[in-house]
Amino acid sequence: MTDYSDKSLMAASDAALLENLGSFIKYHRLQQNKTQDQLARETGIVRSTLSLFERGENTSLLVFIQLLRTLKLLHLLKEFQVRQQISPIQLAKIEQSKRIRARGTGRVGIKLKPESDW
């Protein structure tokens, strides 16, 4: 597998990146001691599709996700989740609106209405 820095990723061609994805799948397939036939069958694709994918040819995102799922590597897609972040101003507003102290039950000597029974 080729190691890419951020700069080399930007400079790499689409074809080179596809080859890297194929090499990644092939590496993990071999690490799990699976043949192309086994992995293809478990994934629900034909062996020739897997072979093309491993070479960086005729790839599809759906096939990639299916292969990640079969190889139990789907957790790698966490990097693509959008995370909501609160700005410091929004956080300050939330903190400001929080209750600071409890209110008393009323003045001493004045009876409050009893709560309803329902």
Per-residue model confidence as pLDDT tens digits over 28-79: 999 999 999 999 999 999 999 999 999 999 789 999 999 999 999 999 999 8
Rounded mean pLDDT of the chain?
A: 86
Tokens in use for 117? 């029974």
Single pTM value for the model:
0.66
More reliable by pLDDT, 42 or 102: 42
Domain 6-80 has CATH 3.30.9.10: no
pLDDT of residue 100: 72
| Residue 5 parent element (H or E) | none
Q: Could you tell me if 1 and 23 are in contact, meaning their C-beta atoms sit under 8 angstroms apart?
A: yes
Does the pLDDT at position 96 exceed 60? Answer: yes
Domain residue ranges in the chain: 6-80
DSSP state of 113: P
In the numeric block, the tokens 């599709």 are attached to 49
